[in-house]
Amino acid sequence: MSLPLGLEVGTLLLKWHLQNTKIIKPSDSRLATQNSGPTSMSIESLDPRVTRLQIEPEPNPLPKPALDQLITFEVFHQKKEGLPFTYVGPVHAADEEIAFLFAKEQYSRRAMCSGMWIASTEHVFVSGYADDSTSVYDTMPSVYVTPEGPEQSYEIFHLKKRGKAHQHVCTVTARSSEHALEVARQTLNPAPPVVSVWIIPSIHVLRQEEDRDMWATTPEKKYREAIAYRVQDKIDRFKAEQKA
């Protein structure tokens, strides 16, 4: 059985690459300065950015310190002015403000967005999850004893279908997260399905209400839209030329 042509060419080129991916050893490593390309033993890559990193190919990596990862924040975005805030996913960050920057980059970079809310994961109270056809509110005990304590405001989010995203439905005043769930049940009395409810104290939701212009950056970057590439026109022109 003969090798496919591509494999032969590929194998040859791989050999070429391996022979040409050399490790440079300057005679005196003290001569190597910051921006003068690879130093002794560093990787010379096809990617000049990698070459500039001056990476040792066989480093003795120090063991990574245990759990130096950052905490997580849950992100809700608003697609358009007036629409409810909807869950988009988490980000890892050191604090709310960095979380906001990461979230803006991660979740509003490509799609239309007119606003974002951020809350630390630990501040989200979760009701549990029901089936797609039922309501978590129906699984709650019918008698509820209102707790003691000061009142504050809570944001209520509903999940209508598993695999979809939680959406903001209202703000209630209550004495605890559990109490907020009860208040939401009484005031909304929503028809099923409500698969799951998330509750966040309003003071723990970071919002960006000023500076609305910052969201208006997406439309000008047309090169990121599939529609900007008129491939078929080029193919048709090519085919017509081939015929002529």
Q: Which of residues 17-36 bind other proteins (CB under 8 A)?
A: 17-18, 21
Query: Residues 199, 177: contact at Cβ < 8 Å?
Result: yes
Q: How far is the CB of 82 from other proteins (least distance, A)?
A: 22
Closest Cα partner for 26 from 45, 43, 36, 39? 39
Query: Residues 177, 126: contact at Cβ < 8 Å?
Result: no
> In this structure, what are the phi and psi dihedrals at residue 116, rounded to the nearest 5 degrees?
-145, 140
Q: Which is nearer to other proteins, 27 or 34 (CB)?
A: 34
Query: Which span (29-37, 171-179, 199-207, 235-243) binds other proteins, by CB under 8 A?
Result: 235-243
The yes or no reply on residue 65 touching other proteins (CB under 8 A) is: yes
Q: How far is the CB of 3 from other proteins (least distance, A)?
A: 8
Using omega within 30 degrees of 0 as the cis cutoff, is the peptide bond preceding 193 cis? Answer: yes
The yes or no reply on residue 168 touching other proteins (CB under 8 A) is: no
Q: How far is the CB of 158 from other proteins (least distance, A)?
A: 13
Burial class (CB in 10 A: 0-12, 13-18, 19+), 38: buried
Query: Residues 77, 127: contact at Cβ < 8 Å?
Result: no
The yes or no reply on residue 138 touching other proteins (CB under 8 A) is: no
Distance, CA of 176 to CA of 183 (rounded, Å):
10
Distance, CA of 236 to CA of 111 (rounded, Å):
31
Q: Which is nearer to other proteins, 211 or 220 (CB)?
A: 220
Query: Residues 170, 184: contact at Cβ < 8 Å?
Result: yes
Q: Which of residues 179-208 bind other proteins (CB under 8 A)?
A: 195-196, 198
Candidates 22, 28, 30, 46; binder of other proteins (CB under 8 A) is: 46
Candidates 25, 29, 57, 149; binder of other proteins (CB under 8 A) is: 57
Q: Which of residues 99-128 bind other proteins (CB under 8 A)?
A: 105-106, 109-111, 120-122, 124, 126, 128
Q: Which is nearer to other proteins, 61 or 141 (CB)?
A: 61
Query: Residues 78, 85: contact at Cβ < 8 Å?
Result: yes
Q: Which is nearer to other proteins, 15 or 25 (CB)?
A: 15
